[in-house]
């Protein structure tokens, strides 16, 4: 019963955390180059270039240097990394859901596995996405350092040091262009999520 309650709570938190936020900023700049124009869009650390003439495809680049890496069994999941090899190694997901991204212009594809969900963000017009979110949904899985849902939040300080941002309900650790967000109830960790904000 405890695990079912934790799962329901985690799913509710996931829905709340992925809700549209005005915290993310999008800047668009247009510049004339020869006969065509180039649109460069910066979305919280990601860069997209779209040629208005030619193929019309969007190139998305994201610096993954120093980003968090989550592990499921022997599969390393780099936040901001290429999803194809990772998803192939993880095997069949229990479910796959495509939803419009409310944080950015594009689509989020959410893969649900036994103990976590993995989201792949793909910008509108792009053929290639990147791993944008990993949400632990069970206390049967831990971060590579050993942090689990249900642990005392001070355990996070042992593994990661002081959080970059602390409130009564969340601790956020930043690495590269990625974040690890812990949701807290009292002193207990009730949600662990890796993300590209």
- Determine contact, residues 153/43, Cβ cutoff 8 Å: no
Between 148 and 9, residue with greater pLDDT:
148
Quick check: is 86 in a domain?
Answer: yes
For residue 2, is pLDDT > 80? no
The per-residue pLDDT for range 128-182, each reduced to its tens digit, is 999 999 999 999 999 999 999 999 999 999 999 999 999 999 999 999 999 999 9
Quick check: is 43 in a domain?
Answer: no
Q: What is the CATH number of the domain that holds 169?
A: 2.60.460
Quick check: is 54 in a domain?
Answer: no
Quick check: is 53 in a domain?
Answer: no
> What pLDDT does residue 57 have?
53
**Looking at 18-32, 70-84, 95-109, 159-173, which range is the least confident one?**
18-32
> How far is it, in rounded angstroms, from Cα 84 to Cα 87?
5
Model confidence at 104, pLDDT cuts 50, 70, 90, reads confident
For residue 55, is pLDDT > 50? no
Beta strands in the chain (DSSP E): 26-33, 36-43, 46-51, 58-62, 69-72, 75-78, 95-100, 106-112, 116-123, 130-136, 165-166, 170-175, 178-185, 188-195
> What pLDDT does residue 58 have?
55
- Determine contact, residues 147/192, Cβ cutoff 8 Å: yes
Domain range spanning residue 88?
2-24+61-195
- Determine contact, residues 76/69, Cβ cutoff 8 Å: yes
The per-residue pLDDT for range 86-99, each reduced to its tens digit, is 999 999 999 999 99
Between 47 and 72, residue with greater pLDDT:
72
- What the block records as the tokens of 125 is 């017009």
| Residue 145 DSSP code | T
Three-state secondary structure call for residue 38 = strand
- What the block records as the tokens of 115 is 């103990």
- Say what percent of the chain tops pLDDT 70: 69
What average pLDDT does the segment 30-47 reach? 37
For residue 85, is pLDDT > 50? yes
- Determine contact, residues 86/69, Cβ cutoff 8 Å: no
Nearest to 104 by CA among 123, 80, 81, 77: 123
Q: Would strands 170-175 and 178-185 be described as parallel, antiparallel, or unpaired?
A: antiparallel
Quick check: is 49 in a domain?
Answer: no
> What pLDDT does residue 44 have?
41
**Secondary element (H or E) of residue 2:** helix 2-17
What average pLDDT does the segment 123-130 reach? 91
> What pLDDT does residue 9 have?
43
Domain count, the chain: 1
- Determine contact, residues 159/145, Cβ cutoff 8 Å: yes
Quick check: is 56 in a domain?
Answer: no
> How far is it, in rounded angstroms, from Cα 179 to Cα 193?
8
Quick check: is 41 in a domain?
Answer: no
Quick check: is 178 in a domain?
Answer: yes
Residues in CB range of 54: below 8 A, 6 or more apart: 36
- Determine contact, residues 123/48, Cβ cutoff 8 Å: yes
């Amino acid at each position: 019963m405890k695990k079912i309650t934790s799962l329901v709570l985690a799913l509710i938190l996931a829905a709340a955390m992925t809700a549209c936020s005005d915290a993310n900023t999008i800047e668009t700049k247009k510049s004339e180059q020869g006969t065509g124009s180039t649109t460069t869009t910066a979305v919280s650390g990601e860069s997209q270039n779209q040629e208005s003439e030619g193929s019309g495809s969007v190139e998305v680049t994201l610096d993954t240097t120093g980003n968090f890496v989550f592990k499921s069994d022997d599969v390393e999941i780099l936040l901001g990394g290429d999803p194809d090899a990772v998803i192939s190694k993880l095997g069949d997901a229990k479910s796959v859901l495509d939803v419009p991204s409310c944080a950015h212009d594009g689509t989020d594809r959410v893969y649900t596995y036994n103990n976590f969900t993995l989201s792949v963000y793909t910008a509108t017009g792009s053929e290639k996405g990147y791993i944008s979110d990993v949400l632990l949904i069970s206390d049967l899985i831990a971060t590579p350092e050993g942090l689990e849902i249900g642990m005392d939040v001070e355990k996070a300080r042992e593994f990661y040091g002081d959080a970059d941002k602390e409130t009564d309900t969340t601790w956020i650790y930043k690495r590269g262009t990625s974040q690890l967000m812990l949701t807290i109830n009292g002193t207990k960790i009730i949600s662990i999520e890796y993300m590209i904000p």
